[in-house]
Amino acid sequence: MATQAMQERAGAITFKGGPMTLLGSELKVGDTAPDVHLTAGDLSVKSLDDLLAGGAAMFIAVPSLDTGVCSLESQKFNARLGELPSGVKAYVVSMDLPFAQARWCGAQGENVTLGMLSDYRDHSFGRNFGLLIKELGLLARAIVVVGKDKTVRYVQLVTETTNEPDYDAALAAAKAAA
């Protein structure tokens, strides 16, 4: 049985100025969001249907919560979740193990209401959303908003991995998707 080669997008992003390759097709607004199998803190596996559950979702992809920029970004989104309507869920997705994600949440000293999901098992989020960095085995920094109908409503790929995203644009897109 032949398998189809994974698309590689060389130079799609940079890490500390060096070009990196993203694996998977580029996700675009209007596409149907592909399914994923992400691991929650209780080690259960969540599909896209589970995560949407009748509402929209904002996926905040970060390389690792153990880095300064990823930690800061997650803190900023967590602080601004009150701006989102009740029909929108927000999730941080990384390759960090669920135990590391829980440790990060506990270290914040505040109530972290962002959902935490790990792509460590099969990298389906990274591959299917076109955000897996080939050279690092980590996710690219990106924001993807998916409507309750599974349509991609917004994609923000941060082209230099060490930079922060446009928070206002991401939150506005998530509000519009509700």
Q: Give the model confidence (pLDDT) of 16-26 as tens digits.
A: 999 999 999 99
Dist. CA 130–CA 12, nearest whole Å = 10
pLDDT of residue 4 exceeding 70, the answer is no
**Domains contained in the chain, CATH given:** 20-177 (3.40.30.10)
Token representation of residue 144: 């993807």
Model confidence pLDDT, tens digit, residues 32-51:
999 999 999 999 999 999 99
Contacts of 68 (CB under 8 A, 6+ apart): none
Active site residues: 70
**Separation CA 126–CA 160 (nearest Å):** 17
Who contacts 97 (Cβ-Cβ below 8 Å, separation ≥6)?
118, 120
| pLDDT for residue 3 | 53
Helix, strand or coil, per DSSP, at residue 14: strand
Q: Distance between CA 158 and CA 84 in Å, rounded?
A: 22
The structure's pTM equals: 0.95
Cα-based angle 9, 39, 110 (whole degrees, multiple of 5): 105
Q: For residue range 108-124, what is the model confidence (pLDDT) as tens digits?
A: 987 899 999 999 999 99
Closest CA to 119 of 92, 153, 146: 92
